[in-house]
Amino acid sequence: MILHRIASLLIVSAFALASCSKSPAGGDTDLIITGGPILTMEGAEPTTAEAIVVNGGKIVFVGSKVEALKMKGDGTVVRDLAGKTLMPGFIDGHAHAMQFGAQAVGANLLAPPDGNVNTIDDLVEKLKAFAQSPDAQRTGWIFGVGYDDALLGRHPTREDLDKVSTTVPVMATHISGHFAGVNTLGLKLIGYDASTPNPEGGVIRREADGRTPNGVLEELAAIPNMLTALTPATQEGKDYFLKRGLEMAKSYGYTTANEGRMFGPMHAVMADAANRGLVDIDLIGWMDYTGRAELDKGFSTRYSNHYRLGGLKITLDGSPQGRTAWRTIPYLLPPDGQKAGYTGYPAIADTAQVGAYLDEAYAKGWPVKVHANGDAAIDQLFTALRPVVAKYGVKPGQTILVHGQFIRPDQVQELKSLGIFPSMFPMHTFYWGDWYEQIVGPEQAARISPMRSILNTGLHATSHTDAPVALPNLTQVAWATVNRTSRSGKVIGPDERVTPYEAMQMITIWGAEQFGEQATKGSLKEGKLADFVVLTDNPVTIEPKDINRIQVLETIKEGKSVWVRK
């Protein structure tokens, strides 16, 4: 480990070397990078170059070292990769970047390998430790992110969380982002008691009396309250969370991030932060359908200070691992409080209303991200979208299917005819592959995020982290997409594996395509932005089983270093 750290520091030091001469073109070239494999992500097969040249934040040359060095000018910096790999900066197909700060600041409730919470007692101790930290004062809540009931055996209840504190509200959020556990005081502050009905699209779980809330909240009973509890009250606190979250994203090689579900005020907060210069990588916001008025005012295909409001978000169901995803076939193991025959439930029961949201988006030119995990939710999407496509024509990529965990083979075949761009979630094969075999059976588990089947239709696709579901670690996602190995070591759906190069296309060039930015991002080509990531190893030549061991050494946005491993 010491030798690896020394090697990393030497690489960073080598990047600081500079030499000067005049550019043959008569202008100054800002940066030349050489000395290691430069993976361009151009074409259907891996292609590498010896050198890349940057000027004014854009790539001006990709090719041989000899030709690149002819372009040195006064002030040109020459960086030596020292054998490490350069490739396009990473683009996450779907995540919640405005929540990265909560993940970076709060108690880490994740299970291995991302954390070390294996029991409810571990969770309680993590929250107690966080309660003693200075960061515990920033939101008014003691909070932690990422517990997994599939490994803990159950959700933490108010009784568990009362052990953390009875005088300060406590919230533990689920790894899916679709559930939360709160203590007794937290329930009181939210306003949930025995007389409170379940909100539409959500469930307040109850004690044995069937009335008293037990502290476990599902979907729309949880999500709006999570946003409140995990958001600092002061501007200084909000800026601190944003900075911590962006630093975490850059540490995983992000040069383009996105907030996959914004509610009205979140857009103003992010626009203000960007205007104050706090955002140094690109961030795209997706406005929840309840905030469509913000899209009328703020939708843009162009970034302003690295931020743009890029489209509409519609959520149709919940979490597959949490068993709130809406299916046509019952779960084999229904969750607590549900009877045999339970299939999950919709977030928006009225399919005509879903169609109205889609029609408005197509009429106004808004791209749409649609969260649909269960096959019943995907049926609802298709039913709502077909008349819209008949009216406006097929617009490839206008609608993005997010997650699609339980998509059926017949639904895979219909994606292309509806112009849907799939952004899937193969990371689940590691985190919950074994769990899915229990709750939906091995046949359905093998079809989770069927990447190979999707690519076989001729479509491109992206994979994503959905962070703060686990960490925003895109090399871990690529590893899962290639290997599809569960926690127990079992391969989940071997026929759905992809090649390492395809997995990297999903987080670079196809990520850019998903967001309509392939002309400027996603590959290393003259005229594109100089968005790079420097890696310890080449992901397309390393052993596939070791892809998740690759570390990010540096993240470069438009030719400027924005993060360096120390």
Model confidence pLDDT, tens digit, residues 491-538: 999 999 999 999 999 999 999 999 999 999 999 999 999 999 999 999
Instruction: Extract the tokens encoding 319.
Output: 């979490």
- Are 173 and 180 in contact, with CB atoms under 8 Å apart? yes
> Does 227 score more than 90 pLDDT?
no
Residue 256 included in any domain:
no
**Residue where one domain finishes, among candidates 229, 264, 289:** 229
Cα–Cα distances in Å, from 225 out to 264, 323, 457? 15, 20, 40
217 and 123 in a common domain:
yes
pLDDT digits (tens, 9 = 90+) for 54-91: 999 999 999 999 999 999 998 999 999 999 999 999 99
> Does 162 score more than 50 pLDDT?
yes
- Are 322 and 335 in contact, with CB atoms under 8 Å apart? yes
- Are 516 and 367 in contact, with CB atoms under 8 Å apart? yes
Instruction: Extract the tokens encoding 144.
Output: 């932690």
Instruction: Name the pTM for this structure.
Output: 0.88
Torsion of CA 136, 150, 407, 548, to 10 degrees: 70
Residue 455 included in any domain:
no
Least confident of 12-16, 191-195, 386-390, 510-514: 12-16
**Residue where one domain finishes, among candidates 211, 229, 247:** 229
205 and 113 in a common domain:
yes
- Encode burial over 195-227: b for 16+ CB neighbours within 10 A, e otherwise: eeebbebbbbbbeeeeeebbbbbbbbbbbebbb
Task: Specify the number of domains making up the chain.
Answer: 2
Q: CA-CA distance, 71 to 61, in Å (whole number)?
A: 9
Give mean pLDDT, residues 317-334. Answer: 95
Q: Considering only CA atoms, which of 173, 149, 288 is closest in space to residue 229? A: 173
> Does 9 score more than 50 pLDDT?
no
Q: Considering only CA atoms, which of 73, 56, 77 is closest in space to residue 559? A: 56
Mean pLDDT over all residues of the chain?
93
Torsion of CA 22, 25, 30, 36, to 10 degrees: -90
73 and 12 in a common domain:
yes
108 and 69 in a common domain:
no
Q: Which residues pair with 33 in a beta bridge?
A: 52, 79
Give mean pLDDT, residues 239-262. Answer: 97
Instruction: Extract the tokens encoding 310.
Output: 């890029």
105 and 72 in a common domain:
no
79 and 181 in a common domain:
no
Residue 76 included in any domain:
yes
46 and 111 in a common domain:
no
> Does 122 score more than 60 pLDDT?
yes
CATH number of domain containing 127: 3.10.310.70
| Amino acid of residue 128 | K
109 and 218 in a common domain:
yes
pLDDT digits (tens, 9 = 90+) for 450-494: 999 999 999 999 999 999 888 999 999 999 999 999 999 999 999
pLDDT digits (tens, 9 = 90+) for 285-303: 999 999 999 999 999 999 9
Residue 307 included in any domain:
no
Q: Which residues pair with 174 in a beta bridge?
A: 147
- The DSSP output letter for 529 is B
Q: Is the peptide bond before 468 cis (omega within 30 degrees of 0)?
A: yes
Q: CA-CA distance, 107 to 100, in Å (whole number)?
A: 13
> 3-state SS of 225-274?
HHHHHCCCCCHHHHHHHHHHHHHHHHHCCEEEEEEEEECHHHHHHHHHHH
Residue 57 included in any domain:
yes
Least confident of 186-190, 230-234, 317-321, 517-521: 230-234
Residue 132 included in any domain:
yes
181 and 103 in a common domain:
yes
Residue 475 included in any domain:
no
Residue 115 included in any domain:
yes
Query: In terms of residue numbers, what domain contains 84?
Result: 2-89+557-564
- Are 327 and 372 in contact, with CB atoms under 8 Å apart? no
102 and 215 in a common domain:
yes
Q: Tell me whether residue 66 is exposed, middle or buried, using C-beta atoms within 10 angstroms of its C-beta: 0 to 12, 13 to 18, 19 or more.
A: exposed
CATH number of domain containing 8: 2.30.40.10
Cα–Cα distances in Å, from 68 out to 13, 34, 130, 306, 426? 21, 9, 51, 29, 39
> Does 7 score more than 70 pLDDT?
no
104 and 74 in a common domain:
no
**Residue where one domain finishes, among candidates 207, 229, 251:** 229
Q: CA-CA distance, 30 to 442, in Å (whole number)?
A: 54
Identify the pLDDT of residue 337: 84
pLDDT digits (tens, 9 = 90+) for 539-562: 999 999 999 999 999 999 999 999
- Are 533 and 90 in contact, with CB atoms under 8 Å apart? yes
126 and 185 in a common domain:
yes
